């Protein structure tokens, strides 16, 4: 029973790319009867906002993702402080006094000499007197984790065998000079405390994994399994950002898209599974195999959302939308839904077709005699799906019209539109009185 987590920073709205990570974690957990933890990484005091955290929770709920536990890192600072003390006592966390400007000048000198811009561990050579001098001058230290220079290897659930030589990395800063924590240490401490045993995240975290594995080990904890999935990009290969709100879950929801259309695209793009509309998260969970996720970037076209949304609605039973149709003021029951669902892209489109049924509409017909003949031949009610064919046959016999010259004038007179649902299903919903009034109006 895996324990997984989705750990957004509440510094903006989540987008469809973040959703890919959340859904992969949720599906892996729920398919195996495990636990899904929502963890807000809100240690960035300046940019984190409670309203963003609330919005993320709302977006996940809309997608059908219900956390088994929600935690906030801002409530867990004491745990991180204790971990810092342990690492300091073990000699794995050391104080550094360089300013950002000094570090930047050092990096530039190294690059000019053809050397990698890796921190040179100069702070390890500081004497007690030198440290005291910095303190007296008002400098407060930031704290770096002392990496063991070795190959760190793991079996990645998506990428297979993976390894990184940490000798090529700078010792990471875990604690800022102002005492605030960067992402790396709190994430490890939380995973230990919450018993997270499988970390599923984007491939942009691969390098972090080597560092975090060493921190797990330095704290004497078991190392979880890691899986790094490919990232969603736009069709042109551009990455997604919280700064671009067009693909935020909130904007997609407000745009009338179905949650399972969004989930299907977010999950299936860039996998061995064909991208198609999937009706439920449980069904989607059964399709996901981390080892069958591509290593290549997962490019998607936002226009695919429209196509998936339409296909999803075209297959949706009336029971699944009855309440939402009622909220839109749409009646007609199952007969109306089955008549129009093949002609909608968003559920709100059903309201437009309900207006076509109930009127008023602006009928269009230039042949007055044809309209009068058609009106005179309207059969008495009750009507069913066979009424359209019988009526059309009678109009054909009376007027000599056939093909498009027969069907299009009747559609224009009854709906005012050239295209739409099959009239054999729509005509009984329009009813004889409205049909007669429209034909007479056209005449």
Tell me the HSE value of 435 on the side-chain side, using a 13 A CA sphere: 23
Q: What pTM, to 2 d.p., does this model score?
A: 0.89
| Overall fold of domain 368-442 | Arc Repressor Mutant, subunit A (1.10.10)
In this prediction, the residues of the chain whose per-residue pLDDT falls under 50 are: none
Same topology, domains 91-149+161-175 and 368-442? Answer is no
- What integer pLDDT is reported at residue 244 of this predicted model? 56
| Overall fold of domain 91-149+161-175 | 3.90.800
Closest alpha carbon to 385 in 343, 429, 341: 429
- What integer pLDDT is reported at residue 233 of this predicted model? 87
- Cα pseudo-dihedral 282, 284, 291, 294, rounded to 10: -160
Tell me the HSE value of 272 on the side-chain side, using a 13 A CA sphere: 8
- What integer pLDDT is reported at residue 441 of this predicted model? 87
- What integer pLDDT is reported at residue 364 of this predicted model? 85
Backbone angles phi, psi at 293, to 5 degrees: -85, 135
Residue linked to tokens 């058609």: 374
What does the DSSP 8-state code read for residue 145? E
- What integer pLDDT is reported at residue 159 of this predicted model? 95
- What integer pLDDT is reported at residue 242 of this predicted model? 56
Q: Is 64 exposed, middle or buried (0-12, 13-18, 19+ CB in 10 A)?
A: middle
Q: Kindly report, residue by residue over 62-74, the tens digit of the pLDDT.
A: 999 999 999 999 9
Range 178-215 burial, b when 16+ CB lie within 10 A, else e:
eeebbbbbbbbbbbbebebbbbbbbbeebebbbbbbbb
Closest alpha carbon to 328 in 309, 299, 353, 361: 353
Rounded-to-integer distance, Cα 167 and Cα 148, Å: 8
Residue 242 annotated as binding site: yes
Closest alpha carbon to 71 in 28, 157, 8: 8
Q: Kindly report, residue by residue over 282-331, the tens digit of the pLDDT.
A: 999 999 999 999 998 888 888 899 999 999 999 999 999 999 999 999 99
Beta strand residue intervals within 62-190, DSSP E: 69-72, 93-96, 142-145, 151-156, 160-165, 173-175
Q: Which two tokens stand for residue 275?
A: 């991208």
Residue linked to tokens 């290593």: 295
**Under 8 Å CB-to-CB from 186, ≥6 apart: which residues?**
41, 43, 73, 76, 80
Peptide bond into 123 cis (omega under 30): no
Tell me the HSE value of 238 on the side-chain side, using a 13 A CA sphere: 8
Rounded-to-integer distance, Cα 262 and Cα 253, Å: 9
- What integer pLDDT is reported at residue 354 of this predicted model? 98
Give the residue extent of every domain in the chain.
91-149+161-175, 318-358, 368-442
105: left (phi over 0), alpha (psi -120 to 50) or beta: alpha
Q: Which two tokens stand for residue 33?
A: 């009867």
- What integer pLDDT is reported at residue 145 of this predicted model? 98
Expressed in percent and rounded to 5, the helix, strand and coil fractions of the chain are 50, 15, 35
């Amino acid at each position: 029973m895996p324990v997984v987590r989705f750990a957004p920073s509440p510094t903006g709205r989540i987008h469809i790319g973040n959703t890919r990570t959340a859904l992969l974690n949720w599906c892996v957990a729920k398919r195996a009867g495990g636990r899904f933890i929502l963890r807000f990484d809100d240690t960035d005091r300046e940019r984190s906002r409670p309203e963003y955290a609330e919005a993320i929770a709302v977006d996940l709920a809309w997608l059908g993702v219900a956390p088994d536990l929600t935690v906030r890192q801002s409530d867990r600072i004491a745990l991180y402080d204790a971990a810092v003390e342990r690492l300091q006592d073990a000699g794995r966390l050391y104080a550094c006094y360089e300013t950002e400007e000094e570090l930047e000048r050092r990096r530039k000198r190294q690059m000019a000499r053809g050397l990698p811009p890796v921190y040179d561990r100069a702070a390890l050579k500081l004497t007690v007197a030198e440290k005291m001098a910095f303190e007296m001058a008002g400098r407060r230290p930031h704290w770096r984790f002392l990496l063991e220079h070795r190959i760190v290897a793991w079996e990645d659930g998506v990428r297979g065998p993976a390894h990184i030589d940490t000798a090529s990395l700078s010792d990471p800063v875990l604690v800022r000079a102002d005492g605030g924590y960067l992402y790396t240490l709190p994430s490890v401490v939380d995973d230990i405390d919450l018993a997270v045993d499988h970390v599923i995240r984007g491939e942009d975290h691969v390098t972090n994994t080597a560092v975090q594995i060493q921190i797990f080990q330095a704290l004497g904890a078991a190392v979880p399994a890691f899986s790094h999935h490919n990232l969603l990009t736009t069709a042109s290969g551009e990455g997604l950002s919280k700064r671009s709100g067009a693909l935020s879950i909130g904007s997609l929801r407000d745009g009338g898209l179905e949650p399972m259309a969004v989930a299907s695209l977010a999950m299936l793009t860039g996998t061995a599974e064909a991208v198609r509309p999937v009706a439920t998260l449980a069904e989607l969970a059964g399709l996901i195999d981390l080892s069958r996720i591509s290593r290549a970037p997962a490019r998607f076209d936002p226009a695919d959302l429209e196509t998936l949304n339409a296909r999803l609605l075209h297959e949706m039973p009336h029971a699944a939308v009855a309440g939402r149709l009622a909220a839109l003021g749409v009646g007609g029951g199952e007969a109306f839904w089955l008549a129009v669902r093949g002609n909608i892209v968003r559920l709100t489109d059903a309201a437009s077709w309900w207006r076509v049924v109930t009127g008023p509409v602006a009928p269009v017909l230039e042949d007055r005699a044809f309209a009068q003949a058609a009106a005179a031949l309207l059969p008495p009610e009750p009507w069913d799906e066979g009424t359209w064919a019988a009526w059309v046959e009678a109009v054909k016999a009376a007027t000599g019209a056939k093909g498009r010259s027969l069907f299009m004038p009747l559609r224009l007179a009854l709906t005012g539109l050239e295209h739409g649902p099959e009239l054999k299903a729509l005509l009984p919903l329009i009813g004889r009185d409205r049909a007669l009034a429209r034909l007479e109006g056209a005449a």
